[in-house]
Every structure is written in C-alpha cells, then in structure tokens.
Chains A and B, each alone.
Chain A
C-alpha cells in the first residue's frame, strides 16, 4: 500500500501551475463575496449599503497597489509567470475583464435595488440636479454660493495653460467650454470636487420622502457656468482617476528612512494613471481630451452608470433616524477572566488570559499599557505599533509612562500602507515625550503585534506579554475579529525580550523558546508543523489541520498542504480573502476544504490547529500564509498552551467551520457558493460569538454579585 502511494507521489508535481489560482483573480472573487452581502435581502438595507461601499474602497486599493504593481512589471519587461502560470500582461487582461464586470454588478445593485429600496424607506437620492424642486433649488443655490463656490479652483486648459495635475482618487468635473466671443474653438476645463465638503448634502425633503440628499458634484455641475463667466459651458461630467500608489523605497540609498518616506508621499500623486472612471454618457470630445492628457488606454476606462466613487455610502450609514435599517450595534463584552478590582498584573499571574475581539472588549489591552504606565514597579514597556487609531489611548499611555520615568521603547512601522503620514506624526509625538522610538529593521516591515511590560516584583523581574493577531487600534478592534493572549510565562517573556532586542538591532537569540518569527524561522516552522501531520497520516494515524487566516497565497505552503492532503491529512481552512489553493483536485487536494466568512465584522484572526497524534497544538499569529508575511516582514507565531485557552481557540475554528449562514465554500471550479442550508441548523458564527460573550459576561456578573452578597453583614 505504502509503496503504491510512494510511486504515485513521485508522479504528482504539487507545484504544477494548474493546481493554483491567480491571487488577483482570487481577490476579485473575494470582492464578489462582499458584493454578495450587499445583494443579500436578508440583511438590513443600511448594512447592505456598507458592503457596497466596502467593495468600492477595496477596488480602489486593489488598483492602487496590485494593478499598479503589475503595470510596473509590464513596463519593466518582467514576464515571469505567477503561481498559476500567468504573465503580468495576461493577469492585467483578466483583471481588466473581471473588474469591469464587477463594477457593472456594483451599479446594477445600486440602480436596481438600492435607489428604489431607499426611496421606499423615505430616503431619496437626487441623482440629477434637473430633478430638484423649487424649494430644494433655492437651498442648493444658497449652499453653492456660501459653501462650495469659495473653495473651488476651476482650471481651464489652452495653449498658455497646460493640463493641470489631477490628484489621485479625487473626484473632478470636466467641462467643455465655448468662447462667447470666438465661436469656433472649444476649450477644456476641470475643477476638483472639494474633498473638504461632505459628499452628499441633505436638502429639504421632497414630497414623498422623509430625507432627500443630493451629491456634491451634482450641485457643482448645476452651477458650473458661474465658474467660467466668459465662456459658454457646453457640457460637464464628473471623472475620477487612480494612480500608481505603491511605495517602493530604495532603502540602501535612503540615509534617513523617515525623510525618504515623506518625499515619497509628495511624489505619490505624480504616479501613472491606471484607471479612469467617467460617467457613462460623457461627451466624446471630453473623453478624448482626458484620454490624451492622462495617457489612458481604452480598457482602463470605466464608464459608470451612476455616481462615481461609491464609498460615500459608508458616511451615509451614519445618517440618523435609520436604526431600523441597521443591525443593532453590538457592545463588546467584558472579559470573564478579568475583574476591575485587582490590578491586571495580579490577574495575569493567576493564569494566561484569552481575548477574543470584538466579542470581548479591547479594554484589557489598553488597560494593560495604561496600568503599566502608572505602576511604580514597572521598569519598562515595549510595544510594536503598526496602525493606531487617531486619538489612541495607547499612545497617550506610552507617553505618560515615559514621563513617569519608565523606559519606553516603541517600534513604529512607518511603512504601514496608507498610514505613513499619520505614523510619522505620532512617532515624533512619542519621541518628544521621551520614548525611545525605533523604526524597525531595514527592508522588513514589522507587522507583529506584541507588548512587553517588565516589572520588578518581590521575587525578581517578571515579564508580562500581550501577543495578538490584530493591530493595537482601539477603533478597529470594534470591527475586526482578532484574538490575543496576556501571559507572564517566563519562556514567552524571554522570547519577547529577544524580539525587541532584535528589532533594536541586536543579534537574534541563539534559540527561541516558544515563539516563531518571520522572516527567518516562521516558514520552516509551518513546514515542520504541516510535515509532521503528513508523517502521522502516512503512518496511518489520524491527522488534522484546521487553520484560519486572511489570505493563503504562498506556493511552498500550498504545496506542503497538497502533500499533506495527498497523504491523508484532513485539512479545513477558513480563509476570508485571497486563496490560491484549489480544492477537490483528485489525489492533490481532495482532503482540503476552504471556506470564507464575510460578515458584519471583518474576519482578521489567524489561528492554526494541528492534531499531532492527539498531542494537539494550537497557535495564533500576526501572519497570513503569504510570501510577504513569511519572508518580508517581522511576524510572530505564538503557541496557546493553557488547556482552557486552547479550548477557546479551537472553539473559534470549530464554530466557524459549522457556520451555515455566512460561510462561502470553495467549489471544485474555484468559485465560491453559500451552503445549502436544507436539513442543517442555521448558525452564524459571528452572531454566535456575540451571544456567547454576552452570556458569559452576564454569568460572571451574577457570580460576582453572589460573592458580594455573601460579604454582607447580616443583622441578628
């Protein structure tokens, strides 16, 4: 039997390109799944708006980074095929085709479902300024004169005035002008829709509506002739461009990383135009000018049937009075293992603490840093920061700690995509407060999420560590599902110390106790774990892998999983976004299932489970199974060792694997489909965790009250 599999194994090339899916196309599939939520009639309308908005902002980012990067490759004459055997050029062709379809689908939902549904619910979006009634027109007129007109900068193009710089991602209106004195010539003009003003403006409600809104660009279009007084405006249409925004910093040349990034920020707006969005019925003459001046190819033009840039729906979600069209706001629950009476260090000493956000509140993490900043026994605090909220209580605590004389070291990742400006700002703020700010290792983004508190206690130095899968961002912690642990385990404390020493430029430790770090050790660790499971299966033992992450597109890992599946390892994957692995290939991946959960919260935790012949192991990490996470970033994989905590972590995987409502299962052809619910219990994992957290919090509350009652003095 074994010899048969051996020979078979030799004939299977687990790296064959036909076993893999292109990551960009897989990403577009993911955006389709999000769009699926927007289509889902069982979901409250305003939530659906939000999903549509997400697909729009996702697509923007996709163009700015992925498409831009592929464009760069094509320009550079790079023809190396990807994991699925496609050259950059082929990928761009397929992407263009699929994104055009996606956009069509977006606007079909907008026009066919949302506009009528919103109207049914008393919310009217005035799509054309011609449809304004008298009262509304008067309002809009005032608004234009008072608010909009002063901030507009119209720019005409003629022989003496060159085509102006159009900023990335901004919404603009172009107009075709005719000189009132000279009948023959047409001129081109453009004006940016000001980003400082709200995208939609509430106007006096129409007769059959409770709220009426008009989009800012509609108002500007209506009064555009006021901007070009000596001309006759023939027509005006909105347009929007997307430029190459991928930062590539040559670190060998940059003497000072910080300065270089600031320089790049200014440069970013000059990038190549990779997408032009225009209204579908734009005047041909205008489009010709745009195409020519912006150097856009036909297939990079998106003709849109509706308003450009649908991200404004995210803002619209915040409109008051529509709570009945939203999912009731969930309040993160207190962590049962923690109380408010004792300091957090005492509680951690009692045993490791498991955190599951946003079902459970992020407060313990904030408290951990806050209490450390004030605790007289705390000597040092160290933390890695990737993306933080704008008014972060963590930053405030770190600054306070430094002011309290503690040694505070903060690793600030300046290259966190799109957050550079923000990060530079508060890095300087921390430095002013006396923190030791470090910027990480050359060429490697620090993506790990770790906090170390060094405390002098009666029996010596003790180290407290928080390790997590999500950023230290109290705002996103309400929306992203993440996990973490608080521990004072000595081996982990030693490793944590070594992590920060390494990030400060000291040599790596000779060996690690518990943590596995990217870029040097993590990949091998995963290979080892997968391989061990493969060996168990080969020996006829039960072998199981369950893993949850955001994306899976690493060829080496996928090949290892194929090999494991081939050997008989049962592999269940929960992958929210990109997945280049294909399921159901005979002899290669028929033991693998892949599901994607798209829900109200953004799935973000990374959890890895290995059955290991009954000696189960479970890990959590900041890393996905992506080459960039395994090779180009500092990431941490940490074990969950406490039996109780292991159970909690495993439960997350098992409940998600039992989800029948929000899970999309990857099919043999690579597409995703929702589960056929017939005969199955309806289970939404995210709702389940919400309910569980509420229940657990109530139970602890009750138990505590009971304890308090016992303490009452009873009169005789």
Chain B
C-alpha cells in the first residue's frame, strides 16, 4: 500500500497552522498532527496595510519550526498557502521571499475563491451530514479574521458566494483605534456590522428561505466549544434558540469578565465576541433553524484537493457542478440569455472536444471556457455599447468560487476580445506565455461557437462535428436559414485557423 505523508500549511490572519496527513487509497486521509501558532499578521495588514518587520520575523521562525516538523516525518510533499492577510499586504512578495530564504518553504498566495472552494471540498469530506444538509437551502458562514464569506447552497448546488470585509480582526482594529472604552465594544461592533449584514440579507436571501447554517472558522469553533461547555451540549447541531440564549448570556457581561471566562487575551476576546455577534445576526435574520459547526480548515481543504488530484479519494460532492451553478446564478443576476449561453456552451464544448488533439488543453480549461460562455454577455446589464468591456469588468469583480485569481482573469479576458486579439506584451505581467497561448486558443473556440448562435435563436441546436485532414466540419441539422451565422462564422474561422491551423467549415443538412 502506498502511503504518502503530506503537509498542508496555512498562514492566516490570527495564526499560522500546519496539518500533517497520511494519504492513501485504502484509508483516505488521516490527520497526524495539527500545529497552530498564534500570530496576528492580520492586525498589521488590516491596520497598517503591510506586515511589520517583527511580525515577518516571527512568521519566518514559525515556518522554520514547521519545516523542522516536516523532517520528523521525512515529508517532501507539501502545499503552503497564505490567504487574504498576505494578499492585502503591500509587502507580501518580500515577506514570501524572506520565508523562502529562511525556512525553505515556498508559500503561495491563494485567492479567496480558491480558498473557499478548498474548504468546501474538505467540508463535504469531513462532515458526514453535509450532503443531507445542503439538500435544503443552506448558508455556509465562514467568519474569518479578515472577512466573512457567505455561500448559499440550494438543492445541493452552490448558488452564490459573497465576501464581506467584516472580519473580526478588521472590526476590532477599527473599533480599538477609535479608542472607545471597551465597555461598549459589543454595541459598537453590532452597529458597525449591522448595515453590511442587512444589505447582504436584503440582496441575497430575499428569495430563499435558509434552513440551516454551517459555520466554520477559528473563532467560530472557539465560540461553540465554549457554548457546549457552558450549556453542556453534545449534539453537533445547535438550534437557533439555544445559540441566541448563549449570545445574550455572554453579551450581558462585561468585557473583562468575558476575558477571564474565555481565558483569552483582550484581543482574542474581541474576536470571539464579534464572531458570535455575526452568527447571532444571521441566525435571527435568516429564519434558519439550526447551525452546524465544523472545525474544517484550509489545511483540510488543501489535502482534500491534493488527495483528489492524486486520485486517492473520490469526492463526496460534485464541486465542478458547483462552479457552473454559481456562474449560472451570476448570469441570472445580470439577466443573461439562458437559452443562448446554453446553446453556445453546447457548441463551444463540442468544438473543444473535437479539436482536442490540436489544442492539448485539459478539463480545467474546458471548465473555464464553459464559464466564459455563461458569463460573456453579462455586460449587457450595464449598457449595450461596450458589452465585452463591461462583461470583463463584471467578471473581474465577481467572485467565482473555485477559480484562482489567474483563472478568473482568463475567463474575463476570454469574453473581452471579439475582434482583435492583443499581443502578449499588452497583458503586462499578468499572464505567462503558456497562459497567453491558452487564452488565445480558448478565445478562438469561443468566437467560433458564438458565431453559431449569432441570432440568439438557437438555430444550431443539433450539430455533428468531424475533423479530417485539418478540416473541421460542423454540420448543422436545422431547417432554419443560417446565412447570418454562416457569414459571421467565416469571419471567425480565419482567426480559428490562425490559432489552430485548422480550417473550419459550416455545412447545413436540411
């Protein structure tokens, strides 16, 4: 039996942590160690905008410790991610370099949407009730130190995910800076957060009746451990009333007495408090029934992703479908033409599959293409003059769960260019040459497919494709007049041929 020992490292806002796992086909994922080191990197980032020298040094020391620990298991395979806390720091690259030089560990900055995606993957693996819960409308509330992530599952599919920058550290830093007496911290924090939460609820929970909340995050876990201890509760699901009673109980006390009870520092107590506040607000406002708390962390997500990639485990939930369904929901928000993108999607993917030999792109690129198709017309929502440009901007500022930042850029750029295609140097440092080529190829397919439903009438709902002697023949089985499509198709076929060296032909079979 092949057993891999693997380390997953997360640099978060309030702590750096590492989990060591054993991954095998037979036993799946087994956690061997969980190391946590409190370090408030977030306090620097969210108030100074950069990471101070002393914090960076301490971070390096922690990572040296991690790399020592990896030696204990002779681990060579690891992934280290830093989340928002480094993403938002102006000197992040220098800090990463310092880490590399001192500890030998290569840390990558992970985008928020990737991070959440990994965590949800792990959530599905770790929580046996996950699939059962998300069959009903469920809100996943990840109250982090930098931000709160809110995702909605409906009928077992992810429909939306939003990030609100209301993380507990962020709130604390702002309120502590105001030098208000700590005694009314609860009230201030509550006021400060109310507006954003209300806005979210109004916008996203308007048409959906949330039944359950799944909560994750460090301080969420602490809060619930404390709740369980205080109220002597052992069930994994906690109902709304119980939580509210607990919340009332802790907020009726002075800040200093809470510090004592939690046996936490003033800083950490503030974090627990704001986390509890967020949970309570959502429980009350969303009309849900109960809340499940999971101790899943990014480290679990990292290993879930790794194990799946190495085919050591089969995923417990179809996450690819989640990515597509969230994209569809975004499209719905911008009132995109569903029939149109469904048709173009069918055509684009058919072309993608047919010319596989010529582009050598994988499943992941196929997914990006599909998302681009779904979202390509969302710019119409803004105005009809600069649709592609608008779509580009919308996509760039919309979280698409599961996509890394670079992947989102690919999707956005795919829909941005329908006439010319910019030269490599025009993309600054954003894309590598490989990315550029990838983008180029996908763009050619997208254009060709788009041409086939130029009229938005889905005239080509049944096509057959053949590829012979560098000629791609698309045969449309339709009675409609496709002269318009044909014309546009031919224009785009030139670009297609430039890219792939394949001639594209459109035939009609009546």
Asked whether A510 lies within 8 Å of B225 as measured between CB atoms, the reply is yes
Interface centre among B35, B36, B295 (most CB of A within 10 A): B35
Tell me which residues across on chain A come within 8 A of B24, comparing CB atoms. Answer: 460
A454 contacts the other chain (CB 8 A) = yes
Report the minimal beta-carbon distance from B256 to chain A, rounded to whole angstroms: 20
Tell me which residues across on chain B come within 8 A of A498, comparing CB atoms. Answer: 34
A206 contacts the other chain (CB 8 A) = no
Asked whether A497 lies within 8 Å of B37 as measured between CB atoms, the reply is no
Asked whether B74 lies within 8 Å of A379 as measured between CB atoms, the reply is yes
Asked whether A510 lies within 8 Å of B33 as measured between CB atoms, the reply is no
Q: Which residue of B lies closest to A520 (CB)?
A: B263
Asked whether A461 lies within 8 Å of B22 as measured between CB atoms, the reply is yes
A384 contacts the other chain (CB 8 A) = no
Interface centre among A407, A504, A506, A509 (most CB of B within 10 A): A506
Cβ contacts B195-232/A at 8 Å (1 or 0 each) = 00000000000000000000000000100010000000
Q: Which residue of A lies closest to B20 (CB)?
A: A461
Asked whether A380 lies within 8 Å of B22 as measured between CB atoms, the reply is no
28 contacts across the A-B interface (CB closer than 8 A): A379-B73, A380-B72, A380-B73, A436-B68, A454-B72, A458-B1, A459-B3, A459-B27, A460-B3, A460-B24, A461-B5, A461-B22, A461-B32, A461-B73, A497-B32, A497-B33, A498-B34, A501-B33, A506-B35, A506-B36, A506-B65, A507-B15, A507-B35, A507-B37, A509-B34, A510-B225, A510-B295, A511-B225
Query: Given A460-B22, A460-B27, is A501 in contact with B35 using a C-beta cutoff of 8 Å?
Result: yes
Per the 8 Å Cβ criterion, residues 29-81 of B in contact with A are 30, 32-38, 65, 68, 71-74
Query: Given A379-B72, A510-B225, is A505 in contact with B37 using a C-beta cutoff of 8 Å?
Result: yes
Known: A456-B73, A507-B37. 18 other contacts (CB 8 A): A379-B74, A436-B68, A454-B73, A459-B1, A460-B3, A460-B22, A460-B30, A461-B22, A461-B32, A497-B32, A497-B33, A498-B34, A505-B37, A506-B35, A506-B36, A506-B65, A507-B38, A520-B263
CA–CA, A511 to B34, complex, Å? 11
What 6 pairs between A and B have smallest CB-CB spacing?
A507-B36, A407-B72, A380-B72, A506-B35, A460-B22, A460-B3
Tell me which residues across on chain B come within 8 A of A506, comparing CB atoms. Answer: 35-37, 65
Per the 8 Å Cβ criterion, residues 213-263 of B in contact with A are 221, 225, 263
CA–CA, A407 to B68, complex, Å? 9
Interface centre among B22, B24, B33, B295 (most CB of A within 10 A): B33
Tell me which residues across on chain B come within 8 A of A458, comparing CB atoms. Answer: 1
CA–CA, A497 to B72, complex, Å? 12
Report the minimal beta-carbon distance from B22 to chain A, rounded to whole angstroms: 5
CA–CA, A512 to B249, complex, Å? 27
Asked whether B3 lies within 8 Å of A407 as measured between CB atoms, the reply is no
CA–CA, A510 to B22, complex, Å? 20
CA–CA, A642 to B38, complex, Å? 37
Tell me the count of chain A residues lying within 8 A, CB to CB, of chain B. 21
Per the 8 Å Cβ criterion, residues 285-328 of B in contact with A are 295
Report the minimal beta-carbon distance from A405 to chain B, rounded to whole angstroms: 10
Tell me which residues across on chain A come within 8 A of B15, comparing CB atoms. Answer: 507
Report the minimal beta-carbon distance from B309 to chain A, rounded to whole angstroms: 20
Tell me which residues across on chain B come within 8 A of A511, comparing CB atoms. Answer: 225
Per the 8 Å Cβ criterion, residues 447-497 of A in contact with B are 454, 456, 458-461, 497
Tell me which residues across on chain B come within 8 A of A454, comparing CB atoms. Answer: 72-73
Q: Which residue of A lies closest to B34 (CB)?
A: A509
CA–CA, A379 to B65, complex, Å? 17
Q: Which residue of B lies closest to A406 (CB)?
A: B72
Report the minimal beta-carbon distance from B35 to chain A, rounded to whole angstroms: 5
Tell me which residues across on chain A come within 8 A of B225, comparing CB atoms. Answer: 510-511
CA–CA, A459 to B3, complex, Å? 8
Q: Which residue of A lies closest to B229 (CB)?
A: A524
Report the minimal beta-carbon distance from A107 to chain B, rounded to whole angstroms: 52
Report the minimal beta-carbon distance from B240 to chain A, rounded to whole angstroms: 24
Tell me which residues across on chain A come within 8 A of B30, comparing CB atoms. Answer: 460
CA–CA, A625 to B369, complex, Å? 68
Report the minimal beta-carbon distance from A410 to chain B, rounded to whole angstroms: 14
Report the minimal beta-carbon distance from B493 to chain A, rounded to whole angstroms: 56
Tell me which residues across on chain B come within 8 A of A407, comparing CB atoms. Answer: 68, 71-72
Q: Which residue of A lies closest to B5 (CB)?
A: A461
Cβ contacts A408-451/B at 8 Å (1 or 0 each) = 00000000000000000000000000001000000000000000
Report the minimal beta-carbon distance from B12 to chain A, rounded to whole angstroms: 12
Cβ contacts A500-533/B at 8 Å (1 or 0 each) = 0100111101110000000010000000000000
Tell me which residues across on chain B come within 8 A of A509, comparing CB atoms. Answer: 34
Cβ contacts B1-21/A at 8 Å (1 or 0 each) = 101010000000001000000
Report the minimal beta-carbon distance from B102 to chain A, rounded to whole angstroms: 17
Report the minimal beta-carbon distance from A535 to chain B, rounded to whole angstroms: 13
Asked whether A504 lies within 8 Å of B5 as measured between CB atoms, the reply is no
Asked whether B221 lies within 8 Å of A510 as measured between CB atoms, the reply is yes
Tell me which residues across on chain B come within 8 A of A501, comparing CB atoms. Answer: 33, 35
Report the minimal beta-carbon distance from A374 to chain B, rounded to whole angstroms: 18
Tell me which residues across on chain B come within 8 A of A505, comparing CB atoms. Answer: 37, 65
Q: Which residue of B lies closest to A504 (CB)?
A: B65
Q: Which residue of B lies closest to A407 (CB)?
A: B72
Report the minimal beta-carbon distance from A146 to chain B, rounded to whole angstroms: 57
CA–CA, A664 to B35, complex, Å? 48
Report the minimal beta-carbon distance from B69 to chain A, rounded to whole angstroms: 8
Tell me which residues across on chain B come within 8 A of A459, comparing CB atoms. Answer: 1, 3, 27
Report the minimal beta-carbon distance from A439 to chain B, rounded to whole angstroms: 15
CA–CA, A510 to B36, complex, Å? 10
Q: Which residue of B lies closest to A511 (CB)?
A: B225
CA–CA, A269 to B197, complex, Å? 67
Report the minimal beta-carbon distance from B348 to chain A, rounded to whole angstroms: 45
Tell me which residues across on chain B come within 8 A of A460, comparing CB atoms. Answer: 3, 22, 24, 27, 30
Tell me which residues across on chain B come within 8 A of A461, comparing CB atoms. Answer: 5, 22, 32, 73
Q: Which residue of B lies closest to A506 (CB)?
A: B35
CA–CA, A459 to B30, complex, Å? 12
CA–CA, A273 to B36, complex, Å? 48
CA–CA, A505 to B16, complex, Å? 13
CA–CA, A552 to B237, complex, Å? 42
CA–CA, A213 to B369, complex, Å? 101
CA–CA, A506 to B15, complex, Å? 10
CA–CA, A380 to B1, complex, Å? 22
Report the minimal beta-carbon distance from B150 to chain A, rounded to whole angstroms: 24
Tell me which residues across on chain A come within 8 A of B37, comparing CB atoms. Answer: 505-507
Tell me which residues across on chain A come within 8 A of B68, comparing CB atoms. Answer: 407, 436
Report the minimal beta-carbon distance from A226 to chain B, rounded to whole angstroms: 63
Report the minimal beta-carbon distance from A632 to chain B, rounded to whole angstroms: 16
Report the minimal beta-carbon distance from B450 to chain A, rounded to whole angstroms: 52
Report the minimal beta-carbon distance from A539 to chain B, rounded to whole angstroms: 17
CA–CA, A309 to B34, complex, Å? 53
Tell me which residues across on chain A come within 8 A of B36, comparing CB atoms. Answer: 506-507
Q: Which residue of A lies closest to B26 (CB)?
A: A459
CA–CA, A191 to B368, complex, Å? 92
CA–CA, A501 to B74, complex, Å? 17
Cβ contacts B321-362/A at 8 Å (1 or 0 each) = 000000000000000000000000000000000000000000
CA–CA, A501 to B37, complex, Å? 10
CA–CA, A50 to B3, complex, Å? 58
Report the minimal beta-carbon distance from B19 to chain A, rounded to whole angstroms: 12
Tell me which residues across on chain A come within 8 A of B33, comparing CB atoms. Answer: 497, 501
Tell me which residues across on chain A come within 8 A of B65, comparing CB atoms. Answer: 504-506
Report the minimal beta-carbon distance from A491 to chain B, rounded to whole angstroms: 13
CA–CA, A603 to B34, complex, Å? 38
Report the minimal beta-carbon distance from A303 to chain B, rounded to whole angstroms: 52
CA–CA, A684 to B333, complex, Å? 85
Tell me which residues across on chain A come within 8 A of B32, comparing CB atoms. Answer: 461, 497
CA–CA, A497 to B37, complex, Å? 15
CA–CA, A511 to B68, complex, Å? 24
Per the 8 Å Cβ criterion, residues 367-382 of A in contact with B are 379-380
CA–CA, A436 to B64, complex, Å? 14
Tell me which residues across on chain A come within 8 A of B74, comparing CB atoms. Answer: 379
CA–CA, A460 to B15, complex, Å? 29
CA–CA, A432 to B120, complex, Å? 47
Report the minimal beta-carbon distance from B72 to chain A, rounded to whole angstroms: 4
